[in-house]
């Protein structure tokens, strides 16, 4: 066994960056963060960073062996489902301890008008009955699910510009959170939005839109999260994940 434990963080999230910073200060830990590369100018975490895919679970397993990884933490976005299953398979093949770091999901409160759906396609099905001017905050991927809705107008917010297929009537707003309630109120008012579509990312940085929608009485279509692979231990906070790594060292 080496003198230090190499920890690979599958990151790209706020939690992933915080975790990298905290683990970098733990004696006996060497951290590498892996980013998928879907954002042109990502916010980089502390320490070593690699960008790009691994080539499926087999490629990830090979990387774990070659780099002598002693712990794998899946701190990807809750909707990055494929990499989570690849991580579970690769960790099992190489016998590397695996932890999934998942922020808690959003919970509706008094005054919310939420319509939970299982996918973007299902979100597109329910939209025409809910409104005509849509604030779409599900990112630049998957806009093709709404491309056939020619009777609706979309305000699409994403970090990078989306690519076709996309709704024919749309305006793109390039922006990155965190967002404020005041700013979200102004967007809803300025664009006369009457329905919001979001994924249940659970991030505090993007939850202000839910408050603004509640205040305006606007319905919200919420895409539910995909499942975490069975048998994978889940941590809900960075502190818990750091404690898990310290436990491995002990």
* Spatial distance between the Cα atoms of 243 and 152, rounded to a whole number of angstroms: 48
The DSSP string of 23-75 is: HHTSTTEEEEEEE---SSSPPPPSSEEEES--SHHHHHHHHHHHTTEEEEEE-
* Spatial distance between the Cα atoms of 176 and 174, rounded to a whole number of angstroms: 7
Half-sphere exposure of 100 (CA within 13 A, CB side): 23
* Spatial distance between the Cα atoms of 249 and 73, rounded to a whole number of angstroms: 15
Estimate the crossing angle of helix 56-66 against helix 81-94, to 10 degrees: 50
Taking the C-alpha atoms of 198, 203, 205 and 208 in order, what is their torsion angle to the nearest 10 degrees?
Answer: 50
**Tokens (6 digits) for 1:** 């066994």
Host H or E run for residue 93: helix 81-94
Cα dihedral 223, 224, 226, 232 sign: positive
pLDDT at residue 1, rounded to an integer:
43
98: Cβ contacts below 8 Å, ≥ 6 apart: 71, 72, 73, 74, 87, 88, 91, 92, 232, 233
pLDDT at residue 36, rounded to an integer:
87
The pTM score is 0.84
Cβ atoms of 201 and 177 closer than 8 Å: no
Cα-only R_g, the chain = 20
Host H or E run for residue 101: strand 98-101
Q: What is the pLDDT along the chain (250 residues), one digit of tens a residue?
A: 446 999 999 998 999 999 999 999 999 999 999 998 777 788 899 999 999 999 999 999 999 999 999 999 999 988 887 999 999 999 999 999 999 999 889 999 999 999 999 999 999 999 999 999 999 999 888 999 999 999 999 999 999 999 899 999 999 999 988 899 999 999 999 999 999 999 998 877 789 999 999 999 999 999 999 888 888 999 989 999 999 999 999 8
**Tokens (6 digits) for 226:** 């995909």
- Domains along the sequence of the chain with CATH: 5-104+227-249 (3.40.50.720), 114-223 (3.40.50)
């Amino acid at each position: 066994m080496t003198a230090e434990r190499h920890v690979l963080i599958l990151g790209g999230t706020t939690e992933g960056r915080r975790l990298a910073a905290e683990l970098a200060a733990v004696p006996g830990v060497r951290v590498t963060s892996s980013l998928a590369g879907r954002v042109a100018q990502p916010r980089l975490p502390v320490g070593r960073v690699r960008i790009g895919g691994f080539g499926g679970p087999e490629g990830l397993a090979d990387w774990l062996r070659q780099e002598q990884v002693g712990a794998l933490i899946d701190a990807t976005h809750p909707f990055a489902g494929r990499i989570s299953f690849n991580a579970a398979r690769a960790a099992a093949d190489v016998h590397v301890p695996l932890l999934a770091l998942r922020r808690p999901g959003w919970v509706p409160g008094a005054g919310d008008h939420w319509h939970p759906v299982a996918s973007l396609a299902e979100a597109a099905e329910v939209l025409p009955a809910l409104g005509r001017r849509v604030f779409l905050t599900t990112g630049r991927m998957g806009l093709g699910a709404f491309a056939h809705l020619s009777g609706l107008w979309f305000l699409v917010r994403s970090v990078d510009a989306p690519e076709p297929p996309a709704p024919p009537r749309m305006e793109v707003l390039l922006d990155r959170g965190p967002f404020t309630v005041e700013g979200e109120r102004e967007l809803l008012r300025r664009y006369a939005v009457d329905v919001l579509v979001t994924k249940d990312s659970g991030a505090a940085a993007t939850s202000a839109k839910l408050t603004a929608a509640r205040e305006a009485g606007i319905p919200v279509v919420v895409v539910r999260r995909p499942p975490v692979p069975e048998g994978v231990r889940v941590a809900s906070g960075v502190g818990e994940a750091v404690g898990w790594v310290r436990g491995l060292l002990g």
